[in-house]
Amino acid sequence: MREGGATTRDRLLEWRREFPTVEANLHFISHSLGAMPRGVEEALRQYAQTWKSRGIRAWEETWFALPTEVGDVLGRLVNAEPGSVSMCENVTLAEAVALSALDFAPPRNRLVCTAEDFPSMLYLYEGLARRGVEVVRVPARAGRRIDEADLLAAIDERTAVVAISHVLFRTSQVLDVAAIARRAREAGALTLIDAYQSVGTVPVDVRALGVDLLAGGSVKWLCGGPGAGYLYVSPRVAPALRPALTGWMGHERPFDFDPGPMRLHDGARRFWTGTPAIPAFVAARPGYEIVAQIGVAAIREKSLRQTARMQALADEYALPVGSPREEARRGGTVVLDVPHAEEVCGALLASDVLLDFRPGVGLRLAPHFYTRDDEVDLVMKLVRDEVRKAGG
């Protein structure tokens, strides 16, 4: 790496050896599927061994405690209070559990979201609308940008919850969550943040942001694979929340098999549902631990440097950039709104360049802590060449 004329070392590349898979292709898809840490294979082998050798005793010996332990690893990544993160299968379910705890009683029956939130969440809110919740979808402005002023104006005393993304999945725009959370608090509303596109690449501090609930998953920047979502609930609000979407594992004493009334656990387990997805949490942990050891601040610094380099190359090659340029506004992904984007994406995937295409915005490419600068340069050349071949 050359900076200011001097050659410096990219210390984060030392972690590359933990991700042998990145040697086999150009991995620019961590916004969609992070590379697999090599520790996952051994962790899953041990999981199978425990299942085989300990059988039912595994629950008591390791499995029952595991989601809480893994939740705490995650919690440290977002400066959550110990014991405030519960694990579940995915973000959709994490949000569904959280929202099931709100009563949306009129006049406070509004959910404020944005048109650029992830479709799974929008479908969930549509379901709530069928049950009487008034869903206010703040529209995007030109370039699919969400203007915080529009969001702030939509929040009032009729708002029960502001449910928005921290980083928008299409454009990688970072929203000013602290300002939105402040406004929500003033109006007496809760905040529920979908932090899937931020945690692991953009620093998140739930306490500094002042958010009440935050959901995320593991597949992307955390290199944790599918099946492991999580929900942070601030201890300020947790005791008052009684999820309707619940299950026996949320009970204070699940093994009493008490027919009810339900007595919810007083910690993060009150947000569990049924039997936890142990193998997914086992597979997710090595990625979380690596990200925690590196530190998201260092990941962000590198991400800003490499995404700036990608933007500069895009300008040089006349590839239109759709993601925000300002540092405070851009997440870890660079969006290139090139002609024939879907075709270009297919051709690049066929030659082991991992990236993706999203209708309406074009190509999404993301470097991560394991990306070398020469890969950044190469991927941008390959995109330029494919766009030219496609007639763009």
Those residues with Cβ within 8 angstroms of residue 314's Cβ, 6 or more apart along the chain or in another chain:
320, 321, 334, 336, 380
State yes or no: residue 272 binds ligand PLP (CB under 6 A): no
DSSP single-letter state for residue 114: E
Determine the interface stretch with ligand PLP among 89-97, 101-109, 123-131, 276-284 (rule: CB under 6 A).
Answer: 89-97
Cα distances (angstroms) measured from residue 48 to each of 79, 264, 375: 32, 31, 36
Determine the interface stretch with ligand PLP among 49-57, 102-110, 129-137, 193-201 (rule: CB under 6 A).
Answer: 193-201
State yes or no: residue 33 binds ligand PLP (CB under 6 A): no
State yes or no: residue 30 binds ligand PLP (CB under 6 A): no
State yes or no: residue 196 binds ligand PLP (CB under 6 A): yes
From the list 25, 50, 109, 120, which residue makes contact with ligand PLP (rule: CB under 6 A)? 120
From the list 34, 200, 229, 322, which residue makes contact with ligand PLP (rule: CB under 6 A)? 229
Sheet containing strand 213-217, edge to edge, reads 85-88, 229-233, 213-217, 190-194, 159-165, 110-114, 134-138
Tally the residues of the chain.
392
From the list 84, 90, 159, 306, which residue makes contact with ligand PLP (rule: CB under 6 A)? 90
From the list 68, 92, 172, 173, which residue makes contact with ligand PLP (rule: CB under 6 A)? 92
Cα radius of gyration (the chain): 22
State which residue has the least CB distance to ligand PLP. 90
For residue 39, the SS3 value is helix
Which of these, 164, 158, 157, lies nearest to 137 by C-alpha position? 164
192 alpha-carbon distance from chain centroid? 13
Least Å distance, CB 322 to ligand PLP, is 16
Determine the interface stretch with ligand PLP among 88-96, 108-116, 324-332, 337-345 (rule: CB under 6 A).
Answer: 88-96
Q: Among all chains, which residue has been given the structure tokens 């970072």? A: 174
State yes or no: residue 217 binds ligand PLP (CB under 6 A): yes
- Whether 225 contacts 280, CB under 8 Å: yes
State yes or no: residue 109 binds ligand PLP (CB under 6 A): no
State yes or no: residue 140 binds ligand PLP (CB under 6 A): no
State yes or no: residue 323 binds ligand PLP (CB under 6 A): no
Compute how many other C-beta atoms are within 10 angstroms of the C-beta atom of residue 7: 7
State yes or no: residue 125 binds ligand PLP (CB under 6 A): no
Q: Which is nearer to ligand PLP, 217 or 367 (CB)?
A: 217
State yes or no: residue 165 binds ligand PLP (CB under 6 A): yes
DSSP single-letter state for residue 174: B
From the list 47, 118, 221, 232, which residue makes contact with ligand PLP (rule: CB under 6 A)? 118
Determine the interface stretch with ligand PLP among 85-93, 175-183, 251-259, 306-314 (rule: CB under 6 A).
Answer: 85-93
Cα gap 287→294, rounded to integer Å: 11
Cα distances (angstroms) measured from residue 343 to each of 220, 246, 338, 381: 24, 44, 10, 16
Residues binding ligand PLP (CB under 6 A)? 90-92, 118, 120, 165, 169, 194, 196-197, 217, 229
